[in-house]
Amino acid sequence: MKELKNIIHKEETVISITGLHKAFGDLQVLKGVDFNLLKGENVAVLGKSGTGKSVLIKVIVGLLKPDQGEVLVLGQHVDQLIGKELDALRLRIGFSFQSSALYDSMNVHQNLAFPLSMNIKTMSKAEIDYAVDEVLDSVGLKDKCKQMPSDLSGGQRKRIGIARTLILKPEIMLYDEPTSGLDPITSAEIINLINEVQARHNTSSVIITHDLTCAKNTANRIAMLHKGRFLKVGTFEEVFAAENDNKQVQGFFNYNFIQ
């Protein structure tokens, strides 16, 4: 587990969620969730498929509205924002999709330039080119500038997806299953990149994952989600302490590290 570093500002909370409920018809997905993220901190939200991890992240970015509860992101009530106000907040939040979500018809440079040309109309072509080169260098793929997504490995596509998110210089990063489908060596590279992003850009990050190795090596805190509620929140050692007799928590640990 990563130690809490001096880059974390304990007095500044960038995400604050209280009493969050979300249902779809009769299906109760989130059942009174409380959650907070500090400036400069990485928090991993762990849980099996269907526990509500993806719903939580969609509420944070305003793609879903809560049925009940308060959701504050960078000091703003997300569910009360519409139109340009919501768009402006989303520009401050980077969403790294599980699939990388690259445009197959664009090369790497074009994929990275696109969000800049769409969202910052005042940037010149030279400024955009410089920003693309800079962010590609930060993810170690400057030599892939002219390649198409189909020519990249799965790990390289993940890196480019993260680079495209970083190019708008977000204050918060949301990673959706960043190591899913990757071999152990490539997963380790993505884990290192997440840590480098935190150190270099002082981002605050929520890492949605079911991969305990990823969570252990990237997160300052762990939040264990089970059937719409957090069973335990704390450091890796606190959540998975040997004396913890919670069967769901220990079962998740055993599945990841024993079987």
What stretch of H or E contains 199?
A: helix 184-201
**pLDDT for 201:** 86
Give whichever of 69-73, 140-144, 211-215, 237-241 has the largest mean pLDDT: 69-73
Q: Which of 26-35, 90-99, 117-126, 213-222 has the lowest mean pLDDT?
A: 90-99
Mean pLDDT confidence for 230-250? 75
Mean pLDDT confidence for 38-67? 90
**pLDDT for 74:** 95
Q: Is the dihedral of CA 147, 96, 25, 75 positive or negative?
A: negative
Beta bridge partners of 223: 45, 233
Count of Cβ atoms closer than 10 Å to residue 33 Cβ: 25
Name the band, by pLDDT with cuts 50, 70 and 90, for residue 77. very high
Using CA atoms, how far apart are residues 100 and 102, in angstroms rounded to an integer? 6
Using CA atoms, how far apart are residues 193 and 97, in angstroms rounded to an integer? 15
Name the band, by pLDDT with cuts 50, 70 and 90, for residue 259. very low
In the chain, domain spans = 1-92+172-259, 103-169
Tell me the CATH number of domain 1-92+172-259, given options 3.40.50.20, 3.40.50.300, 3.40.50.880, 1.10.1200.10: 3.40.50.300
**pLDDT for 238:** 86
Name the band, by pLDDT with cuts 50, 70 and 90, for residue 258. very low
Mean pLDDT confidence for 239-248? 66
pLDDT tens digits for range 99-138: 667 889 999 999 999 999 988 888 899 999 999 999 998 8
pTM, full prediction: 0.85
**pLDDT for 252:** 59
Do the strands 42-46 and 204-209 form a parallel or antiparallel pair, or are they unpaired?
parallel
Exposure string over 149-159, b if 16+ CB within 10 A, otherwise e: beebeebbbbb
